[in-house]
């Protein structure tokens, strides 16, 4: 079974939702038969690469809330993250364009390091003092190396604006086609969708239901056709 997860590194609920989903997956009896694929989604695709601002400022301008309301929301997110065993800085984080991070995640996918890099990007953005937005490509290269990727190869991806750009855009078009207007958005075997950072129990229910309702293979057999098997191939007798 395949689970596709659309998310953005700038999305705190994606950070929390990933932990809740993984808790459910760890307890799922068929977890070794579940393939997890991370898909790209930008919450702020129109933001210029160099346009970085404090999270609180972004929230007040985008949603028209007061600074007190924005900070209260961050404090609530910090508590939600802590309940999942995640570190979360509720003060002095910043917000920026994540397109290059998504391109790097597609590169990491080719090398089997996508999930590891995504977790490191989340940690860097939500839990560490250093910014993933203001330190340039070298900060992302450091994280790529920590994820087990080659530094020069990762740097080459980041310095080429076209590298994996089509893959990111394809993910975003697919999200729109599936009706995803926000993230995290989980799609199980292209049959069930789960929106938001649901409790682990909801993910457990979705995994169980999707697994149980997988369509069995329907065999079309008119009879008499020859085939090869473990004991060899049927040879016509004359």
Q: What is the pLDDT of residue 229?
A: 60
Q: What is the pLDDT of residue 219?
A: 57
- Count Cα atoms within 13 angstroms, Cβ side, for 235: 3
Q: What is the pLDDT of residue 136?
A: 85
State pTM to two decimals. Answer: 0.89
Instruction: Compute the distance between CA of residue 210 and CA of residue 202 in angstroms, rounded to an integer.
Output: 12
Q: What is the pLDDT of residue 236?
A: 58
Instruction: Compute the distance between CA of residue 132 and CA of residue 196 in angstroms, rounded to an integer.
Output: 24
Instruction: For 42-59, write each residue's pLDDT tens digit.
Output: 999 999 999 999 999 999
Tokens of 54: 């404090």
Nearest Cα neighbor of 120 from 136, 110, 130 is: 130
Nearest Cα neighbor of 17 from 80, 75, 72, 74 is: 80
Q: What is the pLDDT of residue 215?
A: 63
List the chain residues with pLDDT less than 50.
Answer: none
DSSP, collapsed to helix, strand or coil, labels residue 77 as helix
Q: Is 46 exposed, middle or buried (0-12, 13-18, 19+ CB in 10 A)?
A: exposed
Nearest Cα neighbor of 170 from 41, 70, 51 is: 41
């Amino acid at each position: 079974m395949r689970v596709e997860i659309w998310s953005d590194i700038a999305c705190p609920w994606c950070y929390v939702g990933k932990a809740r989903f993984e808790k459910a997956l760890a307890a799922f009896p068929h977890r070794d038969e579940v393939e997890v694929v991370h898909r790209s989604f930008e919450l702020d695709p129109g933001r210029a690469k160099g346009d970085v601002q404090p999270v609180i400022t972004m929230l007040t301008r985008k949603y028209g809330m007061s600074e007190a309301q924005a900070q209260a929301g961050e404090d609530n997110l910090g508590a939600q993250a802590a309940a999942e065993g995640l570190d979360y800085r509720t003060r002095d984080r910043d917000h920026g364009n994540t397109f290059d991070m998504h391109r790097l995640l597609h590169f990491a996918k080719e090398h089997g390091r996508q999930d590891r890099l995504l977790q490191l990007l989340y940690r860097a953005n939500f839990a560490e003092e250093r910014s993933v937005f203001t330190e340039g490509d070298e900060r992302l290269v450091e994280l790529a190396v920590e994820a087990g990727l080659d530094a020069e190869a990762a740097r080459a991806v980041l310095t080429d604006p076209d590298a994996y750009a089509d893959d990111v855009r394809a993910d975003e078009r697919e999200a729109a086609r599936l009706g995803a207007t926000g993230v995290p958005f989980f799609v199980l075997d292209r049959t069930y969708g789960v929106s938001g950072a649901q409790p682990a129990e909801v993910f457990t229910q979705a995994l169980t239901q999707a697994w149980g309702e997988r369509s069995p293979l329907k065999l079309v057999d008119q009879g008499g056709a020859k085939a090869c098997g473990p004991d060899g191939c049927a040879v016509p007798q004359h």
